[in-house]
Chains A and B, each alone.
Chain A
Amino acid sequence: MTTNSEPSAIDQALLAFIRKQFLYDRTEVELTPESRLFQESIIDSVGILQLVGFVENTFGVTLRPDDLVLKNFETIAAVRTLVLNRL
């Protein structure tokens, strides 16, 4: 368990990463933990690789093959739940 595993800290880290990595030129998009990452075209098939890498490296978790489904990555809140389940 790392020191940054409080829900709000996880959210903050994910929000910051996604803003910097995917929304640098789309300042009009309001990103919240409930934003639909794929339906709003924030993340695509190349981006998901970066997100999975970020999650595994930053939070020190190893995701299982079954974890890599839409419902675990649909929103930042969903990713947070996944991270907490795997810590």
Chain B
Amino acid sequence: MKLLDQLLTNAASCFPDRPAVRFRGTELSYLELECLSNQVARTLKSLGLGQGDRVALYMDKSAVAVVVLYGILKLGASYVPIDPLAPARRASYILDNCRTDGLITTSEKLKSLDLSDNRFLKVVLLTEGEGEGTNRACQVPWAEVLRQESEPMERPGNAEDQAYILYTSGSTGFPKGVMISHRAALSFVDWAASEFGLTSVDRLSNHAPLHFDLSIFDIFAAASAGACTVLVPPDVSIFPLELSRFMEEERITVWYSVPSVLTRLVLHGQLESRKLDALRTILFAGEVFPVKFLRQLVQLLPGPEYYNLYGPTETNVCTFYPVERVPDDDSVTIPIGKQCAGCEVAVLDPERRRVTPGEEGELYVRGATLMSGYWGMPEKTREVMADVELEGKSNVYYRTGDVVKQLDDGNLLFLGRRDEMIKSRGYRIELGEIEAVLYAHPAVEIAAAVPVPDEQFGNLIKAVVVLKPGAVAGESGLKSHCLERLPRYMVPDVVEIRSSLPRTSSGKIDKKQLISGGFPQDQKKTSL
């Protein structure tokens, strides 16, 4: 298999009647998914789009979203999923920054976007509703898709073409687009499908949103085995009790999510009352899983196998660790394991020499699953895709920014970050991006964002600001300023206004002191 969408075409010929996607009780078979996505590809082609173009997806998760995503791939174009809950301002930025040629959305979402300055968009396909003449692009209703032939279209295909571009938080205040080729995605998907033994009777949950790379496994590894992907409705995923019922009713066999979702299931999902005997494998990735909650999860659900997967969006999954036994000590961290998926990892010192096992160093990754680069950011790409000479051979490695050490048994242990990236609720957040947004507020003189460790969410975010002399602003005003510019998970949970910030002896803002201050006492914890 050379191209991601061939996984679908292949599944449609081997398992035409098997369920491919389920959402809120409705189902598309592999044949239906194949035919509908062919119709989408033909529609986009008839409107002048083609190989190498970028087509954005700005819509809530649904079976249609999966149809559309395959349709874009079958055109030879790359899909660019945009967080449907992101502020319209951020979505408009991504459309402009990525120079997307096409946009697939609903008429309601389209209304919220500001496309007046967008010079790139040629085509808008609406999955719901009718278009209005709000911009220069040609608007087409879904009925147009259904008029097309459902036969596969001749398509140009190059494994090095970008399959998708995922936007992640950027430290300079703007999100950056990670470009992943068909070859890179397939290297991961093939490894995962085989390592976890997926077959056509499996039912995979899809908890992550489509702009989050965990969804690549859920959708494409399922297709490679003819298995079913059951999309978790966003409203169900909000309530742990609903989520555990969903797992039971949908008879999920392979679960994949960030650990904080599993922690909430342990604490509030009443897992002991659910019949989850179909569940055979639980995969987690994206942040550190506190051992305390992992142990409780394994006690509640002793049946499944557990795996810790590791890898930034830029590398896909590059190491993994099968959890044989949970340590008794709560202060111990589960390793991220050993290299996989045709990747090679190296632990290096600041001079890019290998450290001896047991010593701390930065994790570098090389292999087929690596990104092609950041969209439109050659300098940023060069910063992280480094030529490294080891044992006399020079190769391109991705530097993760993650500090790790190798244990005696060869497994790697994640120790922390080299920079100011943090994880909150499994999302990757550059504190600099939050600070840049705060600095854009007219009343702000100095701003600092710090993580406040939290058992359930990994980290909560606190921002501390000093106002300009004479300027007036309150916590709620500063928060709404952030809400208009940042996805909700990046908006500080607390904004404190102070007259000055603590400084280190070298004059830098003393973030350690800000972190140790925690949250004000009246910050009540909720029971969810």
Contact = CB atoms under 8 A, between A and B. Distances in A.
Interface stretch (A6-14, A39-47, A76-84): A39-47
Top 9 nearest A-B pairs by Cβ distance? A38-B235, A52-B526, A53-B526, A45-B238, A46-B488, A48-B238, A24-B480, A52-B528, A25-B484
Contact-size category for A: 20 to 34
A24 B60 contact: no
B240 A44 contact: no
A1 to B, nearest CB: 20
Given A24-B484, A52-B527, A68-B268, A44 B111 contact: no
28 contacts: A20-B476, A24-B480, A25-B87, A25-B89, A25-B483, A26-B88, A26-B112, A28-B112, A38-B234, A41-B84, A41-B85, A44-B238, A45-B234, A45-B237, A45-B238, A46-B425, A46-B488, A47-B488, A48-B239, A49-B526, A52-B526, A56-B524, A56-B527, A57-B524, A66-B241, A69-B241, A73-B239, A74-B235
- Most chain B Cβ neighbours within 10 Å, of A41, A46, A49, A70: A46
A63 interface: yes
Given A25-B483, A38-B238, A44-B85, A65 B112 contact: no
B88 A25 contact: yes
A20 B480 CA distance: 8
Contacts of A24: 480, 483-484
Nearest to A44: B85
Contacts of A49: 526, 528
Interface in B386-440: 425
A39 B235 contact: yes
Given A25-B89, A46-B425, A63-B527, A68 B240 contact: yes
Contacts of A62: 527
B93 interface: no
Contacts of A43: 238
A70 B112 contact: no
A74 B225 CA distance: 36
Contacts, number: 72
Given A24-B480, A44-B238, A45-B238, 13 more contacts: A20-B476, A26-B112, A41-B60, A41-B234, A45-B234, A45-B237, A46-B425, A48-B528, A49-B528, A65-B241, A68-B239, A68-B527, A68-B528
Interface of A: 20, 24-26, 28, 38-39, 41, 43-49, 52-53, 56-57, 62-63, 65-66, 68-70, 73-74
Interface of B: 60, 84-85, 87-89, 111-112, 234-242, 268, 270, 425, 476, 480, 483-484, 488-489, 524, 526-528
B526 A44 contact: no
A70 B239 contact: yes
Nearest to B60: A41
Nearest to B83: A44
A57 to B, nearest CB: 6
Contacts of A74: 235
Contacts of B239: 48, 68-70, 73
A65 B526 contact: no
Contacts of A39: 235
A70 B236 contact: yes
A66 B527 CA distance: 11
B528 to A, nearest CB: 5
Contacts of B526: 49, 52-53, 56
Contacts of B84: 41
A39 B528 CA distance: 20
Contacts of A53: 524, 526
Nearest to A54: B526
A26 B425 CA distance: 25
A68 B522 CA distance: 22
Given A45-B238, A70-B235, A65 B527 contact: yes
A25 B238 CA distance: 22
Nearest to B479: A21
A34 B235 CA distance: 16
Contacts of A25: 87-89, 483-484
Contacts of B242: 69-70
